[in-house]
Amino acid sequence: MGGAGVGRRWTVALVALALLAACGKSAPPAASNPDVAKPQQGATGATANFAPNDPPGEWRRQARDYANTRFSPLDQVNTTNVARLKVAWTFSDSNAYGHEAAPLVVGDTMFLVGPYPNTAYALDLSKPGAPIKWKYEPHPDPIAIGKACCDAVNRGPTWADGKLVFTLLDGEAMALDAASGKPLWRTRLGEPANGMTITMSPLVVGKTVLVGNSGGEMGVRGQLAALDLDTGKELWRAYSTGPDADVKIGAGFKAPYPWLAGKDLGSTSWPAGAWNRGGGTVWGWISYDPALNLIYYGTSNPSPRVPAQRPGDNLWSSAIFARDPSTGAARWAFQFTPHDEWDYDGVNENILIDAPIGGQTRHLLVHLDRNGFGYTMDRETGRIVVAKPFADINWATGIDPATGRPIVNPAKEAKVGEEVQDICPTHIGSKDWQPSAFSPRTGLIYADIFNICMDLTDHRVGYIPGTPYDGMDIKTHAGGHTNKWGEFIAWNPLTGQRVWSIPENFMTMSGVLATGGDLVFYGTTDGWFRAVNARTGQVLWSQKLGSGITAQPMTYLGPDGRQYVAVVAGVGGVASQVMGAKNGFPPRGGTLYVFSLDGVSPGSAKGMLETQGAGAPGGHYGAPD
Amino acid sequence: MRRPPSALACLAVLALAACSRPTGGRTSAVNPAAVPADAQLRAVPLGQPPGEANSVAATIANPYEGDAAAVADGKALFSSMNCVYCHGDNGSGLIGPALNSHGWRYGGAPAQLYNSIHDGRPQGMPAWGARLPPDQIWKLVAYLESLGGAKPPATRQMVDASTPSTTGPQVNGQSQEDTAHEALVRDDAADDASAVNGTQ
């Protein structure tokens, strides 16, 4: 079960799949656009490793692949016909907490895990109307509802080796048998009474389940745990703060910059003992590079949110780790926002891309941070290649190329008892957890971002376990040159420039799907689901849904050979906290919408009712299943 | 130690409190005899007894009722105990439910507010009885009452039913202009729905 074994296995798999891919990309029936059928050189030349190269019609984990591209090769739905997208069927879970997860599709089954109480559903896609195959209710402890900073959300399950793996709000991870819905194991990773919750989606690498934690607003200490996929037994745990032994910084660690080298920086960059309740929680996304056998993930803001109470850089909060998934050992780490004063978590997704720079193929990661800088880094070393703002910001004037540290604007530093006005971005950043997508067909990153600024007053706080360790008094307003809360952008990760953008009146917080049909999909918090031409930024299709969208879109190939696009409308999370009181903000919901060309699905076929006996003499609607 | 005060004693103490109410500062104190006995508070049911219109909670007054200094003390506690980061500025709601509107999961009478703070509640509200003495909890209650959302249940029912809405239709006494978050925190208390409705 060593790392070498994992690496070797994946190398073999990669070679096999590369050969497969060479035989021809997925050839779904009725690909109608001759343009999209041709492989195209990306605009930037950037590509990605799509390991583990799942079947093209499936979506087995939230990011679809280890590289976190959220790119599907499916192209039945493309720029020429997307205007024909219509609702094929819907599914409601009647849960009013914020929905942030994408459904998964494996074989003929769709899997959903909702917000608290984290009920899991399997739907049978082979039957009309996709009826429920099984349902599992884990009954997590309701105490967690009042400990989650930003709504009782869940960012979705992952499928691996016939198991559905997901987290529970009350600080647990669990696995179900995906075929039957029977629980296989359930592992507690922290105590909600002390403020720890879990909202993130686990990543499975080989037989290792990687699970982080939430609670950076509650003085929770950040951690990433590795569990055995078969038993749920904990294999290792790496903390984000504290002595090197706890952070798993050892001989194999190479600091990308000199200021990040030194013994026990995770404790010495804090006031004595403060690291023990110092945040740096792990509630975002994990990427994996099978060739380097390294995982990448970010850490949250430090606790308390009031910087005056924690002089120092506060490592390794608001940072990124590269670790060996078999041991947890850190290979490198980098801090985006030293001594964070504004709640700029570093948890946003890291998209692994490969691109030619100066005649060499570089192994890169792209990270659009909450602090407003778009970082393109060398994922072997952690050194910055490009760092440019992707939104209008004023807390820093740039990134020092010699150190990678932001050049902070002293006028926008937080002050105790004094209001500092118009800090951009606001506490949730120029972009929050909502994951961007990468298309190898354009070589661009697509992201839904914010243009929100804040007036900030800090107050000193005391640590009381299980209560917020916070101290930020925030008033938000739209800002930036658009003065609009949301925006959808195409980003060139090699130059650090926008290619095009679509301003939105309401926050955009859905995450993004990119497809082989040269489409990118995103949703708005006022309920518009849109398809955009990935090359031009032209909106080709929009559909208003029953609630705002804070959940991630996905696409799959049904058992009938058709391409479907799916997204849940169930607004919530931090979007409802920031914008919920604004005029026009939609009510909550929890409805999955599944779209296809002309709305066709097995259930919609003409004559379906006749086949069920409705048209026959004495017939009735709906045969018992 | 604690003895249930007679109604007469309560009245006498309340009258006394009305006369000697401090007008400023943060040193508000009441005669300990005015503080409702623990046994009296334990007798307040979480829900409404079947068929009874009035809750026993309505008969227990906050010893700091209308005491400006106690409200100021309560507001300071609301901040120093980190309540504000869950329940929002002026109790407008954030992680936890809003405390400045008329919808209460566990009742909005002073004794019910006291018990919610003292005992904690299942969806994450800590039990502060272990950390705060009764007079400080009553000061927190006084602060919550000052936010305008707390009224004895019987009064509230009458007011909600008879006051014409200026903002649109009301559902279960709750204005539809309430934020989505507030609506959520009430809806999610489905398990406790009867308890909530029982006090309205």
pLDDT at B148: 86
Average pLDDT in the A493-501 region? 97
Which pLDDT band, with edges at 50, 70 and 90, does A605 fall under? low
Q: What's the pTM value of the predicted model, to 2 decimals? A: 0.86
- Clarify whether A301 is annotated catalytic: yes
Which pLDDT band, with edges at 50, 70 and 90, does A35 fall under? very low
What are the DSSP E strand ranges found in chain B? 170-171, 174-175
**Chain B residue with the nearest C-alpha to that of A95:** B188
Q: Is the pLDDT of residue A140 over 50?
A: yes
A581 min Cα distance to partner chain B (Å) = 5
Best of B84, B95, B116, B125 to substitute, by most chain A Cβ atoms within 10 angstroms, is B95
Q: Which residues of B touch A150 (CB under 8 A)?
A: 95
B184 min Cα distance to partner chain A (Å) = 6
Tens digit of each residue's pLDDT (9 = 90 or more) over B24-58: 445 556 777 788 999 999 999 888 778 776 678 88
Contact B188 A96 (CB under 8 A): yes
**Chain A residue with the nearest C-alpha to that of B85:** A468
End-to-end alpha-carbon separation of chain A, Å?
44
Best of B85, B87, B101, B178 to substitute, by most chain A Cβ atoms within 10 angstroms, is B85
The DSSP string of B102-118 is: S--SS--SHHHHHHHHH
pLDDT at A116: 98
Tell me the CATH number for domain B7-22+30-198: 1.10.760.10
B179 min Cα distance to partner chain A (Å) = 5
The DSSP string of A491-559 is: EETTTTEEEEEEEESS---S--EEETTSEEEEE-TTSEEEEEETTT--EEEEEE-SS---S--EEEE-T
- Clarify whether A68 is annotated catalytic: no
Tell me the CATH number of domain A3-611, given options 3.40.50.620, 1.10.10.10, 2.140.10.10, 2.50.20.10. Answer: 2.140.10.10
Name residues of chain B where pLDDT drops below 70: 1-29, 53-54, 151-200
Best of A119, A143, A585 to substitute, by most chain B Cβ atoms within 10 angstroms, is A143
Contact A587/B at CB under 8 A: yes
Q: Which of A170, A343, A369, A458 is catalytic?
A: A343
pLDDT at A42: 67
Q: Which residues of B touch A527 (CB under 8 A)?
A: none
pLDDT at A40: 53
- Clarify whether A345 is annotated catalytic: no
Q: Is the pLDDT of residue A575 over 80?
A: yes
Q: Is the pLDDT of residue A604 over 50?
A: yes
Structure tokens at A314: 């506060």
Q: Which residues of B touch A525 (CB under 8 A)?
A: none
- Which segments of A231-315 does DSSP mark as H helices, in order? 244-247, 265-268
What span, in angstroms and rounded, lies between the C-alpha atoms of A512 and A550?
11
A356, A328 in Cβ contact below 8 A? no
Contact A402/B at CB under 8 A: no
Average pLDDT in the A420-442 region? 98
More confident residue, B47 or A83: A83
Q: Which residues of B touch A469 (CB under 8 A)?
A: 82
**Chain A residue with the nearest C-alpha to that of B123:** A143
What span, in angstroms and rounded, lies between the C-alpha atoms of A424 and A451?
8
Q: Which residues of B touch A148 (CB under 8 A)?
A: 95
A301, A345 in Cβ contact below 8 A? yes
Q: Is the pLDDT of residue A440 over 90?
A: yes
- Among A34-43, A86-95, A377-386, A541-550, the minimum mean pLDDT is found in A34-43
Q: Which of A217, A369, A380, A504 is catalytic?
A: A217
End-to-end alpha-carbon separation of chain B, Å?
35
Contact A464/B at CB under 8 A: yes
Tens digit of each residue's pLDDT (9 = 90 or more) over A219-275: 999 999 999 999 999 999 999 999 999 999 999 999 999 999 999 999 999 999 999
pLDDT at A602: 84
Averaged pLDDT of chain A: 92
Which pLDDT band, with edges at 50, 70 and 90, does A607 fall under? low
B55 min Cα distance to partner chain A (Å) = 27
Contact A467 B95 (CB under 8 A): no
The DSSP string of A361-391 is: EEEEEEEE-TTSEEEEEETTT--EEEEEESS
Average pLDDT in the A470-479 region? 96
User: Which residue from B79, B122, B187 is facing A96, i.e. has the nearest CB?
Assistant: B187
**Chain A residue with the nearest C-alpha to that of B131:** A464
Q: Is the pLDDT of residue A15 over 50?
A: no
pLDDT at A9: 43
Contact A305/B at CB under 8 A: no
Contact A581 B188 (CB under 8 A): no
Q: What is the DSSP letter of B200?
A: -
* Closest alpha carbon to A300 in A199, A386, A411, A417: A199
Contact B96 A217 (CB under 8 A): no
User: Which residue from B89, B96, B179 is facing A146, i.e. has the nearest CB?
Assistant: B96
Q: Which residues of A touch B184 (CB under 8 A)?
A: 96-97, 572, 576, 588
Residues 6+ apart with CB under 8 A from A68: A285, A287, A349, A350, A351, A352, A435
Structure tokens at A34: 């001759």
pLDDT at A576: 96
A436 min Cα distance to partner chain B (Å) = 27
pLDDT at A537: 98
Contact A148 B95 (CB under 8 A): yes
| Bond preceding residue A425 cis, omega within 30 of 0 | yes
What span, in angstroms and rounded, lies between the C-alpha atoms of A433 and A551?
11
Tens digit of each residue's pLDDT (9 = 90 or more) over A181-216: 999 999 999 999 999 999 999 999 999 999 999 999
**Chain B residue with the nearest C-alpha to that of A466:** B126
What span, in angstroms and rounded, lies between the C-alpha atoms of A502 and A262?
44
Best of B184, B185, B191 to substitute, by most chain A Cβ atoms within 10 angstroms, is B184
Contact A462/B at CB under 8 A: yes
Q: What is the DSSP letter of B31?
A: -
Contact A468 B96 (CB under 8 A): no
Q: Is the pLDDT of residue A517 over 80?
A: yes
Average pLDDT in the A107-128 region? 97
Contact B180 A588 (CB under 8 A): yes
Map residue A608 onto helix, strand or coil: helix
More confident residue, A6 or A51: A51
Average pLDDT in the A22-26 region? 37
In the A/B pair of chains, how many CB contacts fall below 8 A? 76
Segment holding A453, helix H or strand E: strand A452-458
| Bond preceding residue A39 cis, omega within 30 of 0 | no
Give the pairing type, strands A444-450 and A437-439. antiparallel
* Closest alpha carbon to A262 in A249, A274, A252, A273: A249
pLDDT at A31: 42
pLDDT at A608: 55
Q: Is the pLDDT of residue A352 over 90?
A: yes
ipTM computed for the complex: 0.86
